[in-house]
Amino acid sequence: MGKLAELGCEKAVAIYRMMVRIAECDQRIQQGLAAGDLQFQYYPAGGQEAIPATIMSLLNPDDLAVTTYRVIHDIVAKGTPLREIMAEMYGKATGTCKGKGGPMHLTAPDSGLMVTTGIVGAGAPIAAGLALAEAMQGTGRVTVCSFGDGAANIGAVHEALNLSAVWKLPVIFVCQNNLYAEYTSFAESTASDSIASRAAGYGMAGEQCDGTDPASIHAVARKAIERARSGHGPTLLECVAPRLQGHAFGSDIAHMDQAALAQAKATAPLKSVRQRLLDERLATEAELAAIEAEARAEVDDAQQFAVASAAPDLSELQQDVFADIGDTPYAARPSSPDEISPSGALRRITFGMAVNEAMAIALDRDPSVFLLGEDIHDPAGGIVKATVGLSSRFGLDRVRPTPISEQAIVGAAIGASMRGMKPVAEIMVNDFAMVAMDQIANHAAKLRYMSGGRTAVPITIRSLTAGNVGSFGAQHSQMLESWFAHTPGLKIVAPSNAYDAKGLLLACIDDPDPCIQIEAMRCFFSHDDVPEGHYTIPLGKAAIRQEGHDITLVSYSWGMQEVHAASTLLGEAGHSVEIIDLRTIVPLDYAAVRASVLKTGRILIVHPATEFGGFGAELAAKLQHDLFGKLKAPVGRYGAPYTCIPFAQNLEAAYFPNASGIVERATALLGYI
């Protein structure tokens, strides 16, 4: 254990002051829980106060931090006002997140605490993205990502460490090792002697220190921060600090080594640092007592402020899902969404060429746009050449090939977008989005809401669906639009032609919310007339592809090919068919669908995904509810059967919705009088 005097009197006392503020806040929250004034799951930070108190003292105010649900010590040390923290604990409108995030999701971008995640290990990819944005913008800022020893065994952390090392990002990964992963000891869950030793496997620096000793923490953290700021890449820093109580407030401690626990309590950092300050004559008893009284008074004030603050207004319930509440399903939408009309000459190009052209335009127009994904650089240019030529034209800094790491790809995009960038992340095949669903559904979709609107995630995810093109089988052929649509906060785009693919992608890139564009391989090599230059198609504006008066057919993506073929057959049989291409699923142009059905009295909704639980069921239920008594036939829907997607081509052909099936179901609906 080093001398605190090595830090200098002023810094040593300042670190202790921060430790006292952390401990006082931590204890007050636990007292509120014990008294029943507060009600939530809480994860105390006792024993770990010295880690952020020391590390944050080495950072600049505008450096960034990401942490996990055991957060109170990190957010206090990063400089967030205690009033805001305590008000969030009480679920008040004056809290850091307007009472909408709570203790596991504290966000305070003004002080640089960008994300607190309740998902173990999930913050690491986002921290890599924050650091990436700072590196690309040349700000010199560093990012500190804190997590526990349990999170060190999560795949997202591995992916983030590897990506950060490959790109030499200015990030410090701080494992606050309290020797227990929830209720399992470090020795039981980890075969290696330390977390820091793993750094060698990533080709990055690794350091271990005594997490109860500010002098030890300071020595290794200072080197790590200097390394990051000077462009020499990330560090994996392990700070060992035994936990002083159970995993959560009120948890039992029977699983803990009782002798080790007693020893840790006897030598708790708050006690030991206080005594060392006295022993080394860096402070007097009166000075330390004054610091402690000041912290109690500050927490008293914060608690009184929280209790007196108002709860969030009920109008907040659906605010902050998107930047514009009008983008939520069935909300009243503007009659004329913003649109940039095309002015360039028409050329007949493929869907894939249109996607490539959209990205080239975005990269050329806006320096904050960049691409990342697997194999997207030349000469590969992506598995279907969607990005071919772009890295040669714009460079590898803006067209970034990544490791095969979907969680890291999406997480890095999230983090970078929170710092002013506009990432376009490619998930090679739609099925692979499931590997990154935590980052997509728990973070990209929720961060605006959980932060009370203080952060935004303007990312675009491009993803290919390979269904109905022959022999890709069950794990490469799915469309996951209903999964995405069921997650508030995501916008879902499914173009059916090259014109829309370009205009919708450009709209997604400019959108303030996370957008997922699903690109069908079946459409990728089809040709359409597409204008040169920049234009956008508003999200949430369906296209009436054909007017009719007997029945409405609604679809999107490659389903439109079958709908058009079926319409021809139905027309030959004397039926007038109206065709609506939704183009976007969220936002949803429900008004256009409703108006069409009121005109025709019949509707068949066609979608490529499984019919059971599919998006068609949602739209059908809404229409049936709203138009009951005005319809000439029940609302029809047609999707794939409830089975996995088969490999054999004859079975695959029977699996996906097709023109003859549409004609059969539409004819049945037309038979109602």
> What is the SS3 assignment for 352-379?
HHHHHHHHHHHHHHCCCEEEEECCCCCC
Res 335 pLDDT > 70: no
- pLDDT for position 300: 97
Alpha-carbon torsion angle 371, 374, 375, 378, nearest 10: 10
Mean pLDDT of the chain: 95
Q: β-strands 543-546, 577-581: how paired? A: antiparallel
Q: Cα(510)–Cα(154) distance, rounded to whole angstroms?
A: 33
Res 627 pLDDT > 60: yes
- Tens of pLDDT along 76-104? 999 999 999 999 999 999 999 999 999 99
Task: Report which secondary-structure segment, H or E, holds 586.
Answer: strand 584-586
Q: Of the residues 476, 534, 575, 607, which is catalytic? A: 476
- Tens of pLDDT along 364-396? 999 999 999 999 999 999 989 999 999 999 999
- pLDDT for position 469: 77
- The answer to whether 376 touches 382, Cβ cutoff 8 Å, is yes
CB under 8 Å to 69, separation ≥6 — which residues?
Answer: 43, 103, 104, 116, 117, 118
Res 209 pLDDT > 80: yes
Q: Cα(645)–Cα(661) distance, rounded to whole angstroms?
A: 17
- The answer to whether 645 touches 652, Cβ cutoff 8 Å, is yes
Res 337 pLDDT > 70: no
- Tens of pLDDT along 259-300? 988 998 999 999 999 999 999 999 999 999 999 999 999 999
- The answer to whether 125 touches 423, Cβ cutoff 8 Å, is no
Q: Which of 413, 423, 360 is nearest to 388 (CA)?
A: 360
> What is the SS3 assignment for 203-218?
CCEEEEEECCCHHHHH
- Tens of pLDDT along 32-50? 999 999 999 999 999 999 9
Q: Determine the number of helices (DSSP H) and then strands (DSSP E) in the chain.
A: 25, 22
Burial of 574 (0-12, 13-18, 19+ CB in 10 A): exposed
Going from the N-terminus, what domains does the chain have, and what CATH number goes with each?
4-312 (3.40.50.970), 327-531 (3.40.50.970), 543-670 (3.40.50.920)
Least confident of 181-185, 380-384, 470-474, 655-659: 470-474
- pLDDT for position 186: 85
Q: Cα(65)–Cα(176) distance, rounded to whole angstroms?
A: 14
Task: Report which secondary-structure segment, H or E, holds 491.
Answer: strand 491-493
- pLDDT for position 475: 84
This prediction's pTM: 0.96
- The answer to whether 536 touches 339, Cβ cutoff 8 Å, is yes
Please report which confidence band the pLDDT of residue 183 belongs to, taking 50, 70 and 90 as the band edges.
confident
Q: Which of 407, 439, 374 is nearest to 156 (CA)?
A: 407
- pLDDT for position 387: 96
Q: Cα(8)–Cα(10) distance, rounded to whole angstroms?
A: 6
- The answer to whether 476 touches 491, Cβ cutoff 8 Å, is no
Least confident of 181-195, 437-451, 517-531, 567-581: 181-195
- The answer to whether 521 touches 495, Cβ cutoff 8 Å, is no
Least confident of 149-163, 322-336, 647-661: 322-336
Please report which confidence band the pLDDT of residue 620 belongs to, taking 50, 70 and 90 as the band edges.
very high
b/e burial code for range 498-520 (CB count within 10 A of at least 16 → b): bbbbbbbbbbbbbbebbbbbbbb
Place of tokens 């066609």: 606
Q: Cα(484)–Cα(492) distance, rounded to whole angstroms?
A: 7
Please report which confidence band the pLDDT of residue 403 belongs to, taking 50, 70 and 90 as the band edges.
very high
Res 334 pLDDT > 70: no
CA distances from 249 to 34, 42, 186 (A): 9, 5, 20
Q: Which of 70, 27, 76 is nearest to 180 (CA)?
A: 70
**480-504 mean pLDDT:** 97
What percent of the chain is modeled with pLDDT above 70? 99
HSE-up of residue 574 (Cα within 13 Å, Cβ side): 2
Please report which confidence band the pLDDT of residue 614 belongs to, taking 50, 70 and 90 as the band edges.
very high
| 398 vs 182 pLDDT, higher one | 398
Does the annotation mark 105 as catalytic? Answer: no
Res 547 pLDDT > 80: yes
Task: Report which secondary-structure segment, H or E, holds 67.
Answer: strand 64-68
42's tokens: 């809480």
- Tens of pLDDT along 15-26? 999 999 999 999
Sign of CA pseudo-dihedral 123, 125, 126, 131: positive
What percent of the chain is modeled with pLDDT above 90? 87
Res 569 pLDDT > 80: yes
- pLDDT for position 471: 66
Q: Cα(318)–Cα(338) distance, rounded to whole angstroms?
A: 23
How is residue 345 annotated by DSSP? P
Please report which confidence band the pLDDT of residue 187 belongs to, taking 50, 70 and 90 as the band edges.
confident
How is residue 438 annotated by DSSP? I
